[in-house]
Amino acid sequence: MALWDQLKERAADMSAQAKTQVGKFKNKDFANASMAMCALIAAADGSIDPEEKRKTAGFISSNDTLSIFPASELLEKFNHYAGKLEADYDFGKVEAIQALSKLKSKPDAGRAVIQVGIIIGGADGNFDKNEMQAVREACQAVGIAPAEFDL
Confidence of residue 16 (pLDDT cuts 50, 70, 90): low
Distance CA 141, CA 148 (A): 14
Q: Which ranges constitute the DSSP H helices of 23-151?
A: 28-42, 50-62, 71-87, 89-101, 107-122, 129-142
139: CATH: 1.10.3680
Distance CA 114, CA 117 (A): 5
Count the domains in the chain.
1
The answer to whether the CB of 65 falls within 8 A of the CB of 119 is: yes
Confidence of residue 48 (pLDDT cuts 50, 70, 90): confident
Residues 74-101 have pLDDT tens digits of 999 999 999 999 999 999 999 999 999 9
Range of the domain at 87: 3-149
Distance CA 110, CA 34 (A): 9
Taking the whole predicted model, whether its pTM rises above 0.85 is answered as no
Residues 24-43 have pLDDT tens digits of 666 789 899 999 999 999 99
Closest CA to 25 of 82, 105, 98, 94: 105
